[in-house]
Amino acid sequence: MKLCVDNDWLRRQIGNDPIADVEAGRVIRRSADVVKAAEAAAQPQAVAVAGAPKREDAPLALLIHMTRRRDRLTIAQFAERIRVSVDEIATIEKDPRYSPRPRTIHNLAEYVKVPAKALLNLLPDAPVVDQSLDEAVYKFAASSDDLSGLSRAERRGLNDFVKFLTAYKGGTEADGK
């Protein structure tokens, strides 16, 4: 690569530049920062969209967990019932950022008896575009407590949430079409 200006130009400009900080972008303090930056640049991150809040809670994990407890199923039994791997169910319950495969969503929706599209709105990468869904998730999360078997209040919370999802019409079209 050839520089677009010559050294005379550079001398003149540098001579007139103030003694000033010039740092831009990410902070580099050690060699690991350089390597990490290069690795990230090799696989560009999506530009974060301002004003599009992401789900911090894990309503899908909670829905599975509560449904399992209602039906007194272990992770293995539940996974078998909805015909997906044990690993995937365990990951969904453990990792709030994990997005399950479309087939898992489909089978889960069938089991819980809600539209698959409604479940897509509970994924970590679904944009929160509907306050009513947000409120329903919040109410559902608040109603649960991790005791064995469901209490009457928890059962009511789960039923209300499933009812809400069944009737839910808003949200995204993110169904992979």
Partner 1 sequence: MKQIIATVPLFDLGRGAFCDASLFQGIDLDTLRSIEADWTPIFDAAAPENPPEDAHWEWAAKALQALQNPLSYELFGIEADARTQGMMLVVKGGPKCFSRHPEHPRAPLIYVDFLATAPWNRPGLTATPTYKGVGRLLFMTAVSLSIEEEFAGRIGLHSLPGAEAFYRNRLNMTDMGKDDAYQNLRYFELSTTQARQLIAARP
Partner 2 sequence: MKRTMTLNLTETEMTVLERMCEEKGLSKTALVRQALRLYKSVDERLARGEKVFVESADKAEKTELMVL
Residue indicated by tokens 């974060």: 48
User: Quick check: 167 and 133 in contact, CB under 8 A?
Assistant: no
| Contact call for residue 54 and partner 1 (CB under 8 A) | no
Q: How far apart are CA 108 and CA 123, in angstroms?
A: 13
Cα separation, 163 vs 155, in Å, equals 12
Indicate whether 37 belongs to the interface with partner 1 (CB under 8 A). yes
Per CB under 8 A, 129 contacts partner 1 = no
What residue 127 binds from partner 1, partner 2, none (CB within 5 to 8 A, per partner kind)? partner 2
Sign of torsion, CA 100 94 58 139? positive
The answer to whether 25 contacts partner 1 (rule: CB under 8 A) is yes
Please identify which residue in 71, 95, 110, 125 interacts with partner 2, judged by CB under 8 A.
125
Q: What is the full DSSP assignment across 52-92?
A: -PPP-S-HHHHHHHHHHHHTT--HHHHHHHTTS-HHHHHHH
Q: Indicate whether 28 belongs to the interface with partner 1 (CB under 8 A).
A: yes
Distance CA 95, CA 116 (A): 20
Figure out which of the listed residues 4, 22, 46, 147 binds partner 2, where binding follows CB under 8 A.
Answer: 46
Could you say which of partner 1, partner 2, none residue 39 binds, taking C-beta under 5 to 8 angstroms by partner kind? partner 1
Judged by beta carbon, residue 10 or residue 90, the one nearer partner 1 is 10
**Binding flag, residue 28, partner 2 (CB under 8 A):** no
Exactly one of 11, 54, 97, 139 binds partner 1 (CB under 8 A); that residue is 11
**Does the footprint of partner 1 cover residue 53 (CB under 8 A)?**
no
How far apart CA 88 and CA 104 sit, in angstroms, is 8
Residues that bind partner 1 (CB under 8 A): 1-5, 7, 9-32, 34-35, 37-42, 44-51
